[in-house]
Structure 1
Amino acid sequence: MPGIYKMLDVSGVIIYIGKAKNIRKRVATYFTDSLKDNKTSSMIKLVDSIEFTVTRSELESLILEHNLIKNYKPKYNIIFRDDKSFPFLKIDEKHKFPQLAFYRGTRNNQDSLYGPYPSSSSVRTAINQLQKIFKVRTCDDSYFSNRSRPCLQYQIDRCTAPCVDLISEDDYRKDLSNIKYFLKGKDKKVIKNLINEMDISSANLNYEKAAIIRDQLSKLKDIEAQQIVSLPSGNFDVIALVIKEDKYCISIFTYRRGELIGSRDFINIMPLNFSKEIILKNFLLQFYDNRNPPKELILSDYPSDPLMIQKRLSSISQKKIILKSNVRGKRLKLLELVINHSIQKLSSKQNKYNEGNISLTLLRKELKIDKYNLSIECFDISHTSGNNTIASCIHFNREGLVKSRYKKFNIEDITPGDDYQALYRAVERRFKNAYDDKDLPDLLVLDGGKGQLNKVYDIIKKMNLLAIKLISISKGKNRNSKFDTVYSVHSGYAKKIDLSRNVLYLIQRLRDEAHRFAIKSHRVKQSRSMISSPLQNIQGLGKVRRKDLLKQFGGLQGIRKASIEDISKVKGFSNLLAERVFKYFMDK
């Protein structure tokens, strides 16, 4: 019988989930003498019990396996952690004059979404191009409904100003219809429609409108001329998998209307010695779980259960999906290009990994840290004249920077500009909730000199964490990295130490990354603090209600003109609150 099986450790935690046509036979293979794979052997040693679920069909077991892996994230399953959904271009059909907008989220209305695009910048580029040609609006509905005269977009010839009725609904819908054809790759149909419309306008002596359409045609042909003629037409993704030692790289190139609009790479360590077919199966199911796949997927290798996966992807997208591997001509050249790209990416990653390992080995030796799997954390402080102080903490190990373990701390109630106290507070908060040794780094790096090092040493000593090696790095003269100085604690005091060039470079990289993360977090906090509104001064008016009020009236000017009756119609506003808002602006 087909089904899925779950392997659990002694604590009852699921460490592996698998699928099989025959569960009994598949599970038995894990316990045979012929098992030679070290990684599988190490997993089996942890297995305390096995649970299974019988399904009615292989497709059902495939879907169940995928959903369980996504839910439990077992240690020994392949999991692609980049779960950020791809962005789309959205057209809201419900509005009289629909908006052309960027969208990222759940796909509730398939008819109004076009994509997916590989990045937010590619969506914005597409919107920019379409707006230049067809001049549809991109403003929010609240802004649109409160206009009394055309905005700047109309002045620079990027919009036809439907907000003040300078274009009829029928003409606007024609432009929108051409956009939809264009996004579906039907450029020739768009050009044909525009030529017919231009001829009709000329025949009716409407030469001004004919000239506008002529300009649209010219811009469309310019875009077509930018495309590479040798590429095959249509919408498709090219996916290549390359394996080297215990790492693999999956590269995906996204082609829409025969034009490359972006690429993405996934480099990972294989938790088990899986075949290419199994890795591709996991990737396709996870990658397209919340993304709409194109009709054609060109693959370097066929995944395991290709027909089953084809059915699953087809059911997700509500259209037939074709998996291709044995391709020829132009598609073969594209596939070879992506495979070479994946090889280069993996080699580059491996070289960086090897360089990092060499530097870590030297660092362990020079700092006398007797641990192979070394983990490092680095702290930095960022503020503007003592305001909006942020402390950053980054994490680094043998695999490189681990961004999922980055932390940031809002530092308050200290003397403005006191970096010593800010570091003290940040380190104290970082280790206050560290429950076991696994959550502690082996080395702590600080951006600063002797003062910062001595201050943090006090809190490390107070928290009885002296097993953590502590160093700091201060900037050289004129901020020249050649003259950076590293300090360590000896007998309770900060002293200068000499390190090899490779080790110094590694510490500088960590310092610079902590600095980058601190500045980024500080700027976000600072920008939020600078954005203030008079509405914040009104009692009982929280964040949600302020947002609803601004959305209803399009801004403060609209609120000032509103009556108590108008304000009370906004969701969540009582007559008392509406009167309070009205009185506040009347008094002003």
Structure 2
Amino acid sequence: MTNAVKKRIDGILKTLPNGPGVYRMLDADGGILYVGKARSLKRRVTSYFRGGAHNAKTQALVGQIRDIAITVTHTEAEALILENTLIKSHQPRYNVLLRDDKSYPYIYLSTEQTFPRLTFHRGQARGKGRYFGPFPSATAVRDTLNHLQRVFPVRQCRDSFFRHRTRPCLQYQIGRCTGPCVGLVSESDYAKDVRHVEMFLSGQSTEVIDELIEQMEAASLALNFEHAAQLRDRISSLRRIQERQYVAGAKGDVDVIACRQREHVTCVQIFIIRDGRNLGNRTYFPKAPVGTPVEEVLSQFLARHYLGQEKPPELIINQTLDDTELLEEALSQEAGRRVHIRSKVRGERLRWLGMAERNVEHALSARMATDAVMEERFEALRGLLEMERPINRIECFDISHTQGEATVASCVVFGPNGGAIKDDYRRFNIEGVAGGDDYAAMEQAIRRRYTRVLNESGELPDIVLIDGGKGQLSRAEAVIAELGLEGLRLVSIAKGPRRRAGEEVLLVSDPPATLHPPAESPALHLLQQARDEAHRFAITGHRQRRGKSRSRSVLEDIPGIGARRRQALIKQFGGLKGLKRAGVEDLARVPGISKALAEQIYSHLTG
């Protein structure tokens, strides 16, 4: 592996997320050498390039890798299904061929019978009824069936066994069946349990859980606490067994397209869905003049990408375009059939679009952190500040508090090779400062940071970046002078009069200067990125510190969440632990919680 390739791979490894997904190892021609899935993409992919013993196959694979592509998924089970699809489609030489789709297990509900049966199924769908899945393993199906039987006593016995019973079996005795074989339950009561099972496996878990919550509250008011506890356990069991399959679901041939723009970089992510299955994704970085709206970039991309090419009957996009009808007409005329372009979707298609948006955000972050982009930005900043020597290290400070409570300062570090150097990040719990005094807090953070650096002979930055205005900058200058540090260039980044991104004002010390870089300046983009990262890191630390010092619910810190909504959230998810595991879609299903508020809750709990 050459130094150039190693440098490229190292840059990719730095940007990998910790969540689940699928990775593809690519050769020099872009061909797929290997497809794998991971619970943590960062840990799994990085393990290939660490020192240590690898078998001969892995050593041969690593020697041919020239690039890595990833797809971020919601769950590891989802990654397993996507991995299988990609291996069958591309048949990479270093993969062992996996079983085909017919061997994936399903849950089968025989809805055509008077007393339907719920059972494990593998193979072709022959019987009349509903099939739920696929599931990643037979164990997952059997565990689901086992837990469902405890909550909804729908029979799971074979039809031949069911037809010849003269007395109830052991399942009835232990409360896992209502005895339909011998007439111990009416058709209507049995149908209610079947309806709940069908709703739950179809993804309507919120409605089922809401009904159980109402029953639990009624039992509690009636002082029937034992029954209320049983219902509470049922609700908890239902949450554990719910396994959403985001990759395989609704039928259809669809391309899902997400477009995002950050600073001067635009990224387009296309997910290819055929017969309801995700066959993979591709990433594009179209070049567009600075200031081109994202909607215009996407419109031109759709025309150039699909005209003259095979196209599915449906395109789902994440932007509302003014010329949607014109694009639909042109694509339909060329295809000889109707081609729909939709931005407002629901259900499975909305989940596909959400996955595409998550992946386009990751691709943008990874692109902006590549060495080439970072080196260009560092060089542009050197030119802007008229510095003679190269800039090798930037340290940025920010302050976070809530009306003076639990003040935390952050220090994040950036370098030209890969951007953020997270191992060097530091936080400071500010003490002995009047609440809300950001100037004194900034002074304390800088003094503590560089006193320790001097005592430990640590690495000093070339630029100290302050999020703030003249007041914060003057305090920083006083500390730097007091410590006798030379060669540090101090810069503060302040929002412009209209407080819009791209209109920031830079205040520079030694020699003093006020700079107004244009919105498209790579130097400004670098400073914005460092400032935003310092802000994120400070807020995270502040929330952690504030949470430890309070006994009140962290939900009280979210605007728009009153007592009634907090109660609904806690009931729906069984407590803060379950709430933190919930996704935006799950939160938005709670009565009174809008999609925007769900995103705010999710960001607050995971930030």
What is the TM-score normalised by the length of structure 2? 0.38
Q: Larger C-alpha radius of gyration, 1 or 2?
A: 1
What TM-score, normalized by structure 1, do the two folds share?
0.39
